[in-house]
Amino acid sequence: MISDAEIKKNVEAELQWDPDIKTTDVAISVKSGVVALSGFVTNYTQKFQAEADVKRVVGVTGVANDIEVRLPNIDKRPDPELARDAVTALQVQLPTSYGNLKVIVRDGWVTLEGATEWNYQKERAENAIRHLLGVNGVINSIIVKPKVSPIEVKRKIEEAFKRSAEIDANRITVEAYDGEVILKGTVHTWFERKEAERAAWSAPGVTKVQDKISIQP
């Protein structure tokens, strides 16, 4: 079993390996495999990337990301200007469904509302906003409203697991009920667990994922 001290050392190394993260401004603590991040970064993308880096480390069972985004004065923008750019970004990334979405901006925080048929559209909407200059954070309140049967959802997720080089499909079971998916079984790493969850969310018709997969390094 990997100790918290070893996990902390590996997390520090992983963040140092990322040229976009200034590690001197980020503090790390680990307890029972759960990594807590604090400190500050200069844009929202860095905060998101730091969390993604940590999830790849073996032995990590959870992440609490309390990093603060401190935009340089030169990067701060009026909310109406940021809102216009956010709407344009949605139009580019989701040309057929952006009309069902609404953008609300307050103090650099962007809230997304509305509904999509697929979860990938919800994720793509957030990705489109995350990299905009002047964003302090994103609250994704988009609702997924599916039009796919539970049997079809289960089949597509199982097929996705079998195609993935990152997931051992034989160790995970899938249950689907009216858009809700329950994942059970075991994986070797937190990253593999998140990949399984991501694959489940990518299936058409999924509105909720309960990840009950346990990690056994």
Domains and CATH numbers, the chain: 4-69 (3.30.1340.30), 73-144 (3.30.1340.30), 150-215 (3.30.1340.30)
Rounded to whole angstroms, the Cα distance separating 47 from 73 reads 18
Entry pTM = 0.63
Q: Point out which residues pair with 198 in neighbouring strands.
A: none
Which string of DSSP letters, residue by residue, matches 65-126?
E-PEE---GGG---HHHHHHHHHHHHHHH-TTTGGGEEEEEETTEEEEEEEESSHHHHHHHH
What confidence tens digit (pLDDT) does each residue in 24-55 have? 899 999 999 999 999 999 999 999 999 999 99
What confidence tens digit (pLDDT) does each residue in 128-183 have? 999 999 999 999 999 887 777 888 888 989 998 988 877 888 899 999 987 889 99
